[in-house]
Amino acid sequence: MNEECPKCGAKFSVTEVGGGGICGACREPIDCPYCHETVREERTTGTFISTLIKVPDSHLARYLGISDDDWEEMGAELNANTGNSGEMTYCYWFIVPEDTPEEVLHKTGWKTGQIIDDIPLDVVDN
């Protein structure tokens, strides 16, 4: 069966090994092979092996509601908002480029030339 991790967005397959016993079924964890968080538990007499199918999109892409491929295709330049001092980064911003694909504009509701700002530090720095 295929799963998607709700924490990181990775796609992976789950295989049960050694299940099908008569008694002694326990709740065994199904862990994401990318972030290693427990996605859920299921009863089995065996164990579960998770295999990564697709690495999740970056935190930035997921925050913006697009894929990494969409971000690359846009070609937007991410800028740091350093305030007046120029010494500390408060957040990030970018301008939606003129040649942004229509699909991305429709998906996000952005307009070309629009400033997308207040992107949190932890979204970019991760």
Q: What does the pLDDT read at residue 77?
A: 92
Q: What does the pLDDT read at residue 96?
A: 95
State mean pLDDT over 15-42.
Answer: 84
Nearest to 89 by CA among 80, 97, 98, 77: 80
114 or 86, greater pLDDT = 114
The two structure tokens encoding residue 116: 């997308």
The per-residue pLDDT for range 32-74, each reduced to its tens digit, is 998 899 999 988 888 899 999 988 888 898 889 888 889 999 9
Q: Output the 3-class SS for 8-69.
A: CCCEEEEEEECCCCCCCCEEEEEECCCCCCEEEEEEECCEEEEEEEECCCCHHHHHHCCCHH
Model-level pTM?
0.62
Angle at 110 between CA 109 and CA 114, to 5 degrees: 155
Q: What does the pLDDT read at residue 6?
A: 86
Mean pLDDT computed over every residue of the chain: 88
